[in-house]
Amino acid sequence: MVERFTGSFTQQEPLPEEAIEAAVAVMRHGRLHRYNTAPGEVSEVALLEQEFAAMLGARYCLAVASGGYAIATALRALGVKAGDRVLTNAFTLAPVPGAIASLGAVPVLVGVTPQLTIDLEDLAAKADQAEVLLLSHMRGHLADMDALMALCDARGIAVIEDCAHTMGAAWHGKASGTQGKVGCFSCQTYKHINAGEGGLLITDDAEVAARAVLLSGSYMLYDRHAAAPGSEVFEGLRYETPNISGRMDNLRAAVLRPQVQRLPDQVARWNERYRKIEAGLRETPGLTLIDRPAKESIVGSSFQFLLEGWSADQLREVVAHCANRGVELKWFGAPEPVGFTSRYDHWHYAPVQKMPASDAVLAGLLDMRVPLTFSLEDCALVARIIRAEVTAVYQAT
């Protein structure tokens, strides 16, 4: 009998009861706007910012409407303007170069290694082309952050970390998002805490934080932020910083606060599932796993592997056969974007560069979500199905 997986790759766990209760409380009092507070009340958004900053050891935090908005705000807060060039990963998702293009700036794409991290040799070669690196920790893979920050610090490059896939991860014990000038996080449904949509920005730089708060649409109510600089930092900025409204509301913040507190436990659960799949796929003929460095503390909410040197037809066959057995794989070598998945040469707003080494990696890259609704038995079954279908195609060649 052929095994088949019947679970959903897009079904999230229900929100914790305390999040539901907090959301209902906000709906009952009706003060959803972050600055609509009762006398003496600290808003849910301000409390979320304070708690998230404390969890990561950051000085300042701003909650906004989306992860993409957080990135664009970070770019603006660092002074990026139309015509400027910004370094960023060739291997990422469209909102990252899209945030650069939305400012009229120009993405300069940096290659990807077979470990799925930014290519530091390519970064060094292109370092004189820009003063900002928007670094995407794509699919949760952290580059050697010691080497990367040394390179960027030596060249005077400010680093914005896109941590949409690394909330709760760390490099050599230092939390993802705290190495660069700014860390940006997503609270979209498929990320590590779920508000449907939302974003968080952290920084230790007072001026960057103040600009971000003003950009988000604080008007002159910045003193209602519990994780922002003092009012004196805003004095020189409040008349010159445009309001580009993108605030988070109290309803989403109320939903998120209990999830922030549970994050370490959730990370441990994701990693159990990741390691179960990894163990099930080891030594599969023709399949290359992405071994994770000892210095990297991961959040295994998605899983990637490579079928190196395989033809496009073979990759399509594996994807189709796994889909027939209930396993949804995303292929980064597809000629056209599909769903959330796209490749750097699909983004016509970014200058296309020839990147043969990166093309070779992406051509054989397969990816899947690992939701917490999967049991460990589900993960073992998913691994068995992938192993069987990869082996069958490999042996047929």
Write the CB contacts of 215 (distance below 8 Å, at least 6 apart in sequence).
73, 76, 77, 241, 242, 243, 244, 246
Q: What is the pLDDT of residue 91?
A: 96
For residue 297, the Cα-to-chain-centroid distance in whole angstroms is 15
- Residue 57 resides in a domain: yes
Strands 158-162 and 288-289, bridge-based pairing = unpaired
Indicate whether 384 and 245 sit together in one domain. Answer: no
Q: What is the pLDDT of residue 354?
A: 86
In three state form, how does the secondary structure of 256-280 look? HHHHHHHHHHHHHHHHHHHHHHHHH
pLDDT tens digit string along 253-300?
Answer: 999 999 999 999 999 999 999 999 999 999 999 999 999 999 999 999
Element containing residue 61 per DSSP (H, E): strand 60-64
- Residue 269 resides in a domain: yes
315: domain CATH number is 3.90.1150.10
Indicate whether 192 and 311 sit together in one domain. Answer: no
Indicate whether 157 and 41 sit together in one domain. Answer: yes
Least confident of 50-64, 131-145, 192-206, 339-353: 339-353
Strands 288-289 and 174-175, bridge-based pairing = unpaired
Q: What percentage of the chain has pLDDT greater than the value 90?
A: 94
Indicate whether 253 and 271 sit together in one domain. Answer: no
Indicate whether 208 and 267 sit together in one domain. Answer: no
pLDDT tens digit string along 260-271?
Answer: 999 999 999 999
Least confident of 14-18, 121-125, 345-349, 391-395: 345-349
> The tokens of 372 are what?
């917490």
Is the sign of the CA dihedral 65, 67, 70, 71 positive or negative?
Answer: negative
**For range 64-93, the mean pLDDT:** 98
Indicate whether 224 and 97 sit together in one domain. Answer: yes
Indicate whether 126 and 225 sit together in one domain. Answer: yes
The domain total for the chain is 2
Indicate whether 227 and 120 sit together in one domain. Answer: yes
pLDDT tens digit string along 312-341?
Answer: 999 999 999 999 999 999 999 988 888 888
Domain that holds residue 22: 17-258
> The tokens of 274 are what?
């990741």
Given the structure tokens 């993108």, which residue do they identify?
A: 246
Distance (Å, rounded) from C-alpha 210 to C-alpha 82?
Answer: 21
Given the structure tokens 């705290």, which residue do they identify?
A: 178
pLDDT tens digit string along 186-224?
Answer: 999 999 999 999 999 999 999 999 999 999 999 999 999
Instruction: Give the count of beta carbons closer than 10 Å to the beta carbon of residue 132.
Output: 26
- Residue 3 resides in a domain: no
Query: 263-270, long-range: CB within 8 Å, 24+ apart, which pairs?
Result: 263/55, 263/167, 263/168, 263/192, 263/193, 264/168, 266/168, 266/192, 266/372, 267/168, 267/169, 267/192, 267/299, 269/372, 270/299, 270/300, 270/301, 270/370, 270/372
User: Is a pLDDT exceeding 90 seen at residue 79?
Assistant: yes
Domain termination residue (choose one: 195, 224, 258): 258
Indicate whether 116 and 153 sit together in one domain. Answer: yes
> The tokens of 134 are what?
């928007």
Indicate whether 214 and 115 sit together in one domain. Answer: yes
Indicate whether 163 and 138 sit together in one domain. Answer: yes
> The tokens of 41 are what?
């009340």
- Residue 8 resides in a domain: no
Cα–Cα–Cα angle for 123, 203, 267, rounded to 5 degrees: 80
Band of the pLDDT at 397, cuts 50, 70, 90?
A: confident
**For range 42-59, the mean pLDDT:** 98
- Residue 190 resides in a domain: yes
> The tokens of 170 are what?
């760390």
**For range 166-174, the mean pLDDT:** 98
pLDDT tens digit string along 81-91?
Answer: 999 999 999 99
Given the structure tokens 């990561």, which residue do they identify?
A: 56
Q: What is the pLDDT of residue 99?
A: 97
- Residue 10 resides in a domain: no
- Residue 222 resides in a domain: yes
Indicate whether 100 and 214 sit together in one domain. Answer: yes
Domain termination residue (choose one: 210, 237, 258): 258
Q: What percentage of the chain has pLDDT greater than the value 70?
A: 100
- Residue 380 resides in a domain: yes
**For range 340-348, the mean pLDDT:** 88
137: domain CATH number is 3.40.640.10
Domain termination residue (choose one: 258, 276, 306): 258
